Amino acid sequence: MNSILLVEDDIPFSQMLQRFLERQSHKVSSCHNIEGAKQKLKNATFDLVFTDLRLPDGDGIQLLNDIKAKHNDLPVVLMTGYADVSTAVKAMKQGAFDYISKPFNQEEVLQVVNNALHVKTVPQNNKTKATEPDPIDDFVPGISTASKALQEYINLVGPTNMSVLISGDSGTGKEVVAKSIHLKSSRSQQPFIAVDCGAIPKEIASSEFFGHKKGAFTGAISDKMGHFEAANHGTLFLDEVGNLSYENQIQLLRALQERRIKPIGSNEEIAVDIRLIAATNEDLAKAVENGDFREDLYHRLNEFSIKVPSLYQRHDDLILYADFFLEQANKQLNKAVIGFSPEVLRIFQEYAWPGNLRELSNVIKRATLLTQGEVIQKESLPVELRSKSAIQNTSDFSIKGNEKELIVKVLSETDNNKTKAAKLLNFSRKTLYNKLKEYGLD
């Protein structure tokens, strides 16, 4: 059981967040100001500090600096308002693990908390994108034509040293494919370092990729190993690579061409031997045409391309995946649900699954939790599956052909509330904003 210190002066919000974290099997101790936090840190050991940026007797950065001076390996996550994001980026330069903007949903909290807790199991100077335990982290070979073609591509390119560009919609399991390629290579016993490019502020990307030396800039209180060095002799996986700024693309290209990196503040270059795998849910070729992505970097990444099919395209695999996710949910929730009612199976078959495997996994985990008997019934499904809404009706919306119309209709139904729309579409908010930009819906 992990121990979390929660520092938040909004008492009702603090109590709500504490109850939620405790339901996720974390031990939570709360206080409401910096002095209270210092006292608790003095008397107990914690695995993570979750603190608001604005506190009655100071701010979260003040607390962060105090923590890093005494407990450098203790990850600190800041909670901020949207107006404080620039301050949060500054805090990350000073050693904060991450920040999360209010209001946030439960999925965001879980991801950030699990990512932060993961740094307790790896060296602090070797932080990578650590995904929470997730059923779709396991590769499940399908029986559909699309799944068999995907497996064939993985088997072909896995043993080579070629760079691979993986494309596909959100939730299709692109990182799972990347891991499968890594495991079929001669580097399988070496590190697999996954980096979420969309989560790295451009101001600190150089430090994240290449590392830095102590004293290289304000807040560099110790040496930091970058992702390239951490992946040496193994595989570096760049997820959502299309989100890198143009400046960061240039830095990445240079490192890939020279296979040498120089940590910030260092006079010495480090030779790196890595295999690169990148993933995106955007059309990078179109981004190149628009001048948003460097053509030379695109060709460097795209020695071999793999398109991960959507769940809609793997319809024959649906029940196979449903059974797998049910088994995983039973293990995680200590339940003994044995299957699905015929009505639920019919609903599954008729639903379009815009969120792909991620959505299917989440729906089944939720339904397993709610089910009191041995079989999942319709009543345990989310309302968007039980209703005859347009986002469910595959005859109205083909996921591949009419995604733009789907997004427009859901935005209309939610009165242009992008947070609700993203939830209904099973997109992250960032993915929704990217698609709005792609379709000219800003």
Q: What is the CATH number of the domain that holds 250?
A: 3.40.50.300
* Separation of alpha carbons 141 and 394, rounded Å: 25
Task: Look at residue 315 and tell me whether its pLDDT is greater than 70.
Answer: yes
- Arithmetic mean of pLDDT, 15-42: 89
CB 356 within 8 A of CB 311: yes
pLDDT digits (tens, 9 = 90+) for 240-260: 999 898 889 999 999 999 999
Q: Is the entire prediction scored with pTM above 0.75? A: no
438, part of any domain: no
Cβ within 8 Å of residue 293, ≥6 positions away: 242, 249, 284, 287
Final residue before a domain boundary, out of 94, 121, 148: 121
Note whether 175 and 267 are same-domain residues.
Answer: yes
Note whether 47 and 116 are same-domain residues.
Answer: yes
Mean pLDDT of the chain: 82
Beta strands 3-7; 27-31: pairing state:
parallel
Final residue before a domain boundary, out of 91, 121, 151: 121
b/e per residue, 275-285, with b = 16+ CB within 10 A? bbbbbbbbebe
Note whether 16 and 151 are same-domain residues.
Answer: no
b/e per residue, 110-138, with b = 16+ CB within 10 A? ebbbbbbbbbeeeebebbbbbbeebbbee
For residues 400 and 306, the model is more confident at 306
Two tokens, residue 142 = 């399908």
Flag the least confident range among 285-289, 335-339, 437-441.
437-441
Note whether 110 and 139 are same-domain residues.
Answer: no
Nearest residue to 88 (alpha-carbon basis) of 5, 215, 79 = 79
pLDDT digits (tens, 9 = 90+) for 48-78: 998 988 888 888 888 888 888 888 888 888 8
Two tokens, residue 367 = 């339904």
* Separation of alpha carbons 172 and 356, rounded Å: 6
- Arithmetic mean of pLDDT, 370-388: 87
Final residue before a domain boundary, out of 90, 121, 152: 121
151, part of any domain: yes
Cβ within 8 Å of residue 432, ≥6 positions away: 407, 418, 421, 422, 425
Note whether 294 and 252 are same-domain residues.
Answer: yes
440, part of any domain: no
Q: Specify the pLDDT at position 118.
A: 62
Note whether 223 and 290 are same-domain residues.
Answer: yes
Nearest residue to 133 (alpha-carbon basis) of 332, 431, 427, 333 = 332
* Separation of alpha carbons 401 and 310, rounded Å: 12
Q: 215 is in which domain, residue-wise? A: 135-307
Q: Angle between the 356-370 and 318-333 helix axes, to the nearest 10 degrees?
A: 50
Note whether 276 and 192 are same-domain residues.
Answer: yes
Note whether 77 and 166 are same-domain residues.
Answer: no
40: phi then psi, degrees, rounded to nearest 5: -65, -40
Note whether 16 and 156 are same-domain residues.
Answer: no
